[in-house]
Amino acid sequence: MADHETGRRADVTPRGFATRAIRAAHRLPVVDQPPTSVPIYQTVTFTSADAEELGAVANREIPGYAYGRLDNPTVVAFAAAVAELEGAEAGFGFASGMGAIHAALGTLLSAGDRVVATAVSYGTTRATLTGVFGRLGVTTTFVDVTDLGAVEAALAAAPTRVLYAETIANPTIVVADHVALADLAHRHGASYVVDNTFASPYLCRPVELGADLVVESATKFLSGHSDVMAGIVAGSTSLVGRVRDFQVDTGASLDPHAAFLAMRGLSTLALRMERHSATAVDLATWLEAQPGINRVWHPALPSHPQHAVASRVLRRGGGMLAFELDGGRDAGRAFIDTLTIPERTASLGSVFTIVAHPPSTTHRQLDDTALAAAGITAGLLRCSVGLEDLEDLIADFDNALAVARAAGEGAAGGRATSPSAEPSNGRTPATDETSIAQPDPTPV
């Protein structure tokens, strides 16, 4: 006999102590007043009234929950909230941003398919395309997505399943024209997939600009506090349903507590992105005027190569910027090591400022020639601007720049000049059929 209100069998006989302890510890409280926060459904299993209902729920014949790898109410609530902010019909949560990227691509790609991807894509995304999917018979052509003629030529060269871009590229801050790229993709029969991590849906909603799927590392700006790892895929209901099926079979399930923390971050996303953006553009403007700085990239700067595109696709410039030091790797390392406010750590999109030197961290195994081909000069620094006071950041950066200039001058006599700044502004070779060798992609 089952209690159809709770879905559990009614207690009809006395129980021994162990049985009663287990039942007592799992008895659900009665809550007549709705909570103001989404509860954390910290459970893997859900009970059903009978075997028929359990099977129907597990096979998605009726709404409900059966097993945590398939669905969880907290995770579903988080994904639905992000989808709404993205302007998408549906969303699905993942254990990490790379889990989301893997699922989005894996849903669309089969052996023999072809991808055209931005040449300045995140290193681990590039490694996934060339390594994981490459081993399965998928080929990838890397192209400068700011050169629409080159993109069209790459799409026309052979049947293409996916065009892949990043709203704001990691780490070179190249800005993609989603309207134009989505049009090109669809005219050539490809799906348009966008990594929106650096922007967040507050700054840009690629689905509304033509993207078929948008992916984000919710570890970054969405959650915003460097205390949770999560990812999200959003798009049409039918396509996200296929993404969900892929995740069920591959297992990158998002933990409900992580979903709760990421959802908490959504409440302050607008406020944080406004502060990130305001401080970042002021810091970038200050950096442009400093000696020892070759160039600064921030979408809101008139000097940014895609400033006009950014003005159309972004609400604000965002919290990410990059700048190139005169002294190359030595200056970059010295700058990082001298800073006192930013933590020397990985990741981005947090309440605290994070500065990374890709040539000595994420891309440390590449020489200057290989870095230039990837759009990264030896002195490039990536900065995720936090919520600290601007004056404190400027004072700290000013001191670090002085030390970096000295380090760069001391090493200049014993090595060649850094590569030209030209490759690092997003103007990479038009197409590149082969991947640049990547280091261990642990730092982000």
Backbone angles phi, psi at 294, to 5 degrees: -75, -45
Question: Which of 335, 316, 306 is closest to 398 using CA atoms?
Answer: 335
The alpha carbons of the chain give a radius of gyration, in whole angstroms, of 24
Rounded CA separation 155/185 (Å): 7
Catalytic residue among 122, 164, 192, 202: 122
Tell me the CA distances in angstroms from 292 to 325, 350, 423, 439, one per residue in order: 6, 27, 19, 28
Q: Which residues of 246-270 are buried (b: 16+ CB within 10 A; e: fewer)?
A: bbbeeebbbbbebbbbbbbbbeebe
Catalytic residue among 69, 187, 312, 415: 69
Rounded CA separation 378/178 (Å): 29
What is the CB-side half-sphere exposure of residue 308 using CA atoms within 13 A? 2
Question: Would you report the helix, strand and coil content of the chain in percent, each value rounded to 5?
Answer: 40, 15, 45
Catalytic residue among 114, 161, 220, 244: 220
Bridge partner residues of 141 (DSSP): 116
220 is catalytic: yes
Q: Are 122 and 195 in contact (CB under 8 A)?
A: yes
Residue-by-residue DSSP string for 346-387? S--SSSS-EEE-GGGTTTTTS-HHHHHHTT--TTEEEEE--S
Cis peptide before 359 (omega within 30 of 0): no
Q: Which residues contact 182 (CB under 8 A, 6 or more apart)?
A: 192, 209, 210, 211, 212
**Amino acid type, 112:** G
249 is catalytic: no
Backbone angles phi, psi at 221, to 5 degrees: -65, -35
Catalytic residue among 113, 147, 195, 330: 195
**Block residue for tokens 């000097």:** 303
Rounded CA separation 131/153 (Å): 24
H-only helix segments in 190-341: 200-203, 237-250, 256-266, 269-288, 307-313, 328-338
Q: Are 254 and 94 in contact (CB under 8 A)?
A: yes
**Block residue for tokens 């790459």:** 154
Enzyme catalytic residues: 69, 122, 195, 220
